[in-house]
Amino acid sequence: METGIVITSRQLALNILNKYKPRLTNLSYMINSSIKKAEQSYGFIDKGFLRELMWGVVKRLNTIDWVINLLSKNAKQIKTPIRNILRMGVFQILYMSDRIPDYAAVNESVNLAHLIKQNIASKFVNAVLRELIRRKDRLPWPDINTPEGMAVRHSHPGWLTKRWVQRFGHNEALEICEADNLTPKLCIRVNTLKITRDALKAELEKEGILSNLTRYSPDGLILESNPEIERLKCHKLGCFMVQDEASQLVSHILEPKENETILDICSGKGTKTSHIAQLTNCKANITAVDNSDRQIKTSIENFRQLGVENVETLKKDAKSITGIKADRVIVDAPCSGLGTIRRKQDIKWNRTEKEILKHFPSIQKQILFHASNLVKNNGILLYCTCSTEPEENENVIEDFLKKSKCFKLVNIDFAGLPGSKEKYLRLFPHKHGLDGFFMAKMIKNGN
C-alpha cells in the first residue's frame, strides 16, 4: 500500500465519471473495480458515499444537466472534467442537503477543480454552485405535464417518457418514472438446500442485519440495510444469493420437477439455474447455457458456493444448441432491461428506441424459435424478460405462436400475485414494488 497519499471518495467518483460513457462502459463494473484498486493502493474508501454519489449522479443526469445548462451562459463549452465536478456538486445540493451542507458541497467541488490546476475552472464551479444555492427553491422547471418536462423532472430519456405517456397515459407514466427513481432495498434468495428462510433471518439478525419476508416469493428476504454482502458469514457459507423478488418468481412459475431434464438458455451468472436446482433438491438434470466465458465462470463459482452439483454448463450461442430434448426450457432472453432501471440506473441511458423496436425483438425471436425445437412433447417453454416493453414481450410471443402451431399458452397461476391467472404475467415497479418483468408459459402439443 502506498503511504502518504490519500484519495477521497469524491476524487474517485470524479475519476470514474470522467471515464464513464453511456452505451460503451459498464458503470457497476467501473465502480467496483475502482473501489478495489483504491483500497489496495490507498486504504479506506467510503464506499457507501461513493456508490450513492455515483449512482445518484447517473440517476439524475437529465435533471442535473438541465440545471447546469440553465445556470451557465456557455454550457456547451464546459469541458468534461468540469461538467462532472458540477454534476456531483449539483447532486449534493439538490438531493443530499439533508446530510451535506450546501457550503461543504461547494467547497469540495471547488477543491476538485483546483486539482485540475485551472484557476478559472475553480472560480466557475464556485459561481455556478453558489447561484444554484440562491435559486434552488425557485428554479423555472419545465412543465411536468409534458413528456419533455417529465423527462427533465424525473430524469428519464425523452423518447422513453413520450413512449410511456402514449402507452399508459400521463399519470401512470409519471408513476413509473417515480418508481424508477426510488432506491429499492436489497433482496436475497434463501438457499433452502442449506438453510430455511426463518433460520437465515435469525442468522442475519445475529450479524446485525434485520430483514423482512418477501411478499410473493416463498424464498426471499428483503434486507433493511445495505451491508457488504461478501463479508457476511451467511454469504460465505452459501446460504443465499442476491436476487430480486420478480426474478425469483420465474423458477417457481417454471414449476421444475425432480428427475426432469431442464434447460436454462441465456443462463448468465446461473442465478435462476441455481434456484431451479434448489427447487428440485438437486435431483433434476439441468443444463445452463450462455455464450460468455465470464458468465459461465461466475455461474460455476456460484454453484460451488451454494452446493449445487447437478448442473452442466455449456458455453454456446443460444441459437446453436443441439442434441438436447428437455422437459422444461427457460429462455431468459437478452432484452433492453428497462424493468430494472431502479437497480441499474445507467441502463436508461444505454438504450435507444430503435433497439426496442428492432434489435432486441429480432434476437429474441431467433432464440425462442430455436429453443422451441429443444422442448419434448408435452414439455414446457417459459419465455421471460426484464423489459416492460411489448415489442420485446407480447409481440414476440404472438409472432411465435402464429408460426409454431404446436405450442399454446398456459395461464400463469401464482397464489397472491396480482396479474397472475392470466396468459401473460406482467410485473411493474409502480404496481408491485418489484423489478419490471414479463413471463409467458407455453406447453408443447404434438411433434
> Which positions are annotated as active-site residues?
386
For 22, the 3-state DSSP assignment is coil
- CB atoms inside a 10 Å sphere around CB 390: 17
* Of 202, 193, 247, 238, nearest in space to 220 by CA: 247
Identity of the amino acid at 197: R
| Contact (Cβ atoms closer than 8 angstroms) between residue 255 and residue 320 | no
Q: How many Å apart are CA 363 and CA 54, to the nearest integer?
A: 32
For 306, the 3-state DSSP assignment is helix
Q: How many Å apart are CA 246 and CA 342, to the nearest integer?
A: 13
- Please give the backbone phi and psi of residue 253, each rounded to the nearest 5 degrees, phi first: -70, -30
| Contact (Cβ atoms closer than 8 angstroms) between residue 261 and residue 290 | no
Buried b / exposed e over 210-220, threshold 16 CB at 10 Å, is: ebeebebbebb
Q: How many Å apart are CA 288 and CA 291, to the nearest integer?
A: 10
